[in-house]
Each structure stands twice: as structure tokens, then as C-alpha cells.
Amino acid sequence: MDISVPARLQWFENQQAILVHHPLSLPLLFFSLFFLLCFNRVWPAKATNLPPSPPKLPIIGHLHCLGTLPHRSLQALSEKYGPLMLLQLGQTPALVVSSAAMAKQIMKTHDIIFANRPITTASKLFLYGCKDITFAPYGEYWRQMRKICILDLLSVKRVQSFSFVRKEEIANMVNDIKQSCSLGRKINLSGLIVSATNNIISRVALGRSWGTEYAELTTQVMDLFGILSMEDVFPSLGWIDVLTGLHRKMKKTSKTMHQFVDEVIEEHVLGRNDDNRKADQKDFVDILLDYEEDPTPTFEFTRENLKAVIIDMFVAGTDTIYTTLEWAMAELVNHPNEMKILQEEIHRVVGDKSEVDENEISQMDYLSCVIKETLRLHPPLVMVIPRVSSARSDIDGYNIPANTRVIINAWAIARDPKIWDKPNEFIPGRFIKNKVDFRGQDFEFIPFGAGRRGCPGISFGITSIESILASLLYWFDWESPSGNTNEKIDMSEAFGLSVHMKSPLNLVPKFRT
């Protein structure tokens, strides 16, 4: 193995390749790391009975083990070192969990101990010091925010009330594809899905569509959340992020996002007196402004809280829906027989109607199977948003120290051959008799996490995915640009906070008559 200093730092160079590097950043980095090694206690005191750990390098520990696709690298390591594995990521100890049984221990048995999130550079800058729901520290504030989210923003009733938004935006997307059909040319389906998803989320959360400019902003935010900054792994060397340009890029993008949200809120404030919408058709900003104007005696809801929650909803919601749809369509084109079975089901249920009615989707059992299988193979968050232990705990006989970061590899768990037959193959039919679900009760299948910190937006996301996917397959047949059914779509991954397809999904649609 090449253990030269440049090789050890290659991981950081890959992560920050998009940034502008200061000419003195690497020499200063070498000096700083040398200083840490010689004069600081980089490693924590030796604890007893820790989980297994691969050999580590000086200073950086196991950072070099992550590779360009960490979920795959960590899966390979877990096959050798076991489902509980302790890594040292710079100065940060991290427990990697790669089995359903161990995930259940973390997210159910010891859920309270592991209910906190680590505070990262990105979450501090973008979310006003973690005043949102996803990254907020576990406690009374988080409980109140989650209650608002579940009861007022993302309840089943609220999700159903916005069916007209999904209907209109899906119709717009279908019309755009129909125009391409008449020309017989390929389309960038990834781009169309992003646009439709962004418009749905924008209208539901922000009141109206805000255009492609803000869809691109959402992508930039997600990309930056996926970068592990120097400060995140070497807190004492956070100043190096300034030299590399990462801190400047994060500050610039967060400022743009905050200005955008300010503009959205100001538009809502000015229009509140003239707003005649029904209560169940208020968008998320309207509902949160109600809380700001009339806070409860025990819960202060400020403008920063409001903005942090809106960024949570807008960014995470768009990315989750888009990513799942992109992978689902790619898998179906690569498996035409599965696509045919699903299309036959959709047409049998919908009949000759001019649109797919959301009320009929519950009758589409195979559609549910296809979505479950897509989420199994391609979870939106391949590694559940990390947690951090608030106290010492014992997991499977091992000692887990306090302040240990926990990385749950949902991707590896969903491909565990001890649980899943032919785990790397796309087989939707496996869910016909298998009632395992993704809502956090079955730990072998946790694309949205589980326990207290599980994703509260599952119903909204799945409803949108079902509606869009059913419409794409009701109106059109799909094939690869070459027209050769033996030529498969490239399924290469691009890693970030969520894992997208590396290349845009270009397909040829054919209108079904």
C-alpha cells in the first residue's frame, strides 16, 4: 500500500476537487498535521473491549479507507471486520454499523443514547446553528419541532390536500415529454424529473414555483453537505478550509440560500392579509408563520427557526424524490419485463382515463414492489445521517465510548446476503409476499432511517414518487437511446449526501396509444 503523505491526503483532494486551492494550502496542511502528530494527543485514550478496527495510518487514521464511494468501501471492510467496526476519521471516532441486528440496537434498544446528530460545518452555516429538524440536538426544542412537522406540515391529511399540485405539475411534465415523442428524440429524463419535483416541493413548501435557478441551488447545497470538511475531522485545523476555499464556497452558497428564503418569507408576509386560501391548502411557510406570530408559552419559534425548517424541507424533499425516481426508471429500462408487468398493472387499474388518479394507486401492488426494490438497492441516503453517542454504551458486548459518531450503512444492510436472496439484483417480485416495509420498523430495510430520528416526510415523498412513476409508465414506453434492449443503462454512482446516477438518464419515450 502506498502510504506516502500525498496518498494519505488524496481523499481530501478528491472531496474538495471542485474548490479553488490556495497555493500555500498543502504545505501548511503538512506542517499542521506534523504539529498535531508531535505535540497534540490526536488519539483518544486506549479503551478496553472496543469493536474491531482495521489497521490505521498516523494522523488521518482510516480516512484513506473511505474511497470515492464510502458505502461500498465500508461494506467491503465490514465483511472482514464484522457488522460493528470502529474507525478513526482524523480526530473523530466513528462506529460503522452494517447489519440489521446492530442497527436495531442503535436505533431502538439504545435510541436515546444515540439520538443526537454530530454538528458539522455545513449544518452550522446553512441551518443557523442546527435550528432545523434534521440536525437539531435531541431535546425539547427538537421534540416540539418534530411535532409541528408531523401534525401540521407532513400529516396524511396535509399530504392529500396537495394532490392538486402534484396533478398539475405531473401534467406539465407529461406534456413536455409528449412534444419530444413527436420528434422521436431522446430526452434528459433526469432534468425533467428534477424540474417536476422541484416545482411540487416549491409550491407545497414555498407557495409557488421558483424556477430552475433555485433547483440548481438545492443541488449545490446537497453537494456541500456531502463534503467532509477539514474542520469536521480535525476541529483544530478548521482554518485550512478557509485556505482551500471550501469555507468561502459554503458561506457564499448559504448566503444565497438564506437570501432566497428571506425573499420567500417576505412575499408571504406581504400577502397574508389578502390570502383567502383554505386552512388545509396553506403552504409550509404560511403554517410556520402562524407559529412565529403565536408561539406557545413553552416554545419560542423565531424567524431563524422558520428559515432552517424551510431549508430542511425544500432541499431534502427535492433530492430524495428525484433520486429515487431516477434510479427506478433506470432499473426498469434495464429490466423491460419488469417494466411491462408494471405497465400492465397501471393500465388495468387506470383504464381509459385521461390521467392517473392518486386514489387508485393503492390498488397498484406491483408499483409498490418496484418502489420498495428501488429503495432497497438505491436508498436516497446510502448511509443514514450520522448520530453521535451522548454516553457510554454496550453494543453486542463491545464498549462504545461517549461522543462516538455512528454511521449506519443502510446500503450494505439492504444488500446483506444473509437477509436478501440475490441481494444485488433488481427483483421487485421479492416484495409480493415479503411484507418488510421501509417505515422504520424493519431494520433490514431502512432507507429513511428509523427510531426517533427517522425521516418524518416518508408519506409525502412516497406519494409523490408513486404519482410521478405511475404517470411516466401510463403514458409512455421507454427505451435506451441506442434502442438495443441488450445494452444496459450505465448505473455508475456519484457520491454525495445522497447518491445520484453519475450520468444523466437519457431515454427515448414512445407515446402509448
| pLDDT tens for each residue of 107-146 | 999 999 999 999 999 999 999 999 999 999 999 999 999 9
Q: Which residues lie below 8 Å from residue 462, measured CB to CB, with a gap of 6+? A: 371
Q: What number of helices (H) and strands (E) belong to the chain? A: 20, 11
The end-to-end CA distance of the chain, in Å, is 59
Distance CA 100, CA 90 (A): 27
C-alpha cell of residue 502: 453519475
Here the cell at position 68 is 470515492
Q: Average pLDDT by consecutive 10-residue portion of the chain (513 residues)?
A: 39 42 43 47 60 94 92 96 96 96 97 95 94 93 90 90 95 93 88 93 90 79 86 90 93 95 92 63 88 73 91 85 96 96 97 91 97 96 92 96 96 97 97 91 95 92 97 95 83 86 94 80
Contacts of 287 (CB under 8 A, 6+ apart): 148, 152, 153
Name the residue among 171, 188, 154 with its Cα closest to residue 455: 154
Q: Give percent helix, percent strand, percent coil of the chain, each to the nearest 5.
A: 55, 10, 35
Per-residue confidence (pLDDT) for residue 298, from 0 to 100:
65
Determine the pLDDT at residue 1.
38
pLDDT at 122: 93
Binding site feature residues: 455
Q: What structural domains and CATH numbers belong to the chain? A: 5-511 (1.10.630.10)
Q: What predicted TM-score, i.e. pTM, was given to this entire model?
A: 0.89
Q: Do residues 121 and 232 touch, judged by C-beta distance below 8 A?
A: yes
What's at 424, amino acid-wise?
Answer: N
Contact predicate 98/413, CB 8 Å: yes
pLDDT tens digits for range 358-413: 999 999 999 999 999 999 999 988 998 899 999 999 999 999 999 999 999 999 99
Instruction: Kindly give the pairing relationship between strand 506-511 and strand 187-188.
Output: antiparallel
Distance of CA 82 to the CA centre of its chain: 25
Retrieve residue 419's grid coordinates: 437477509
Q: Which residues are annotated as a binding site for heme?
A: 455
Contact present, 481 and 506 (Cβ < 8 Å): yes
Size (the chain), residues: 513
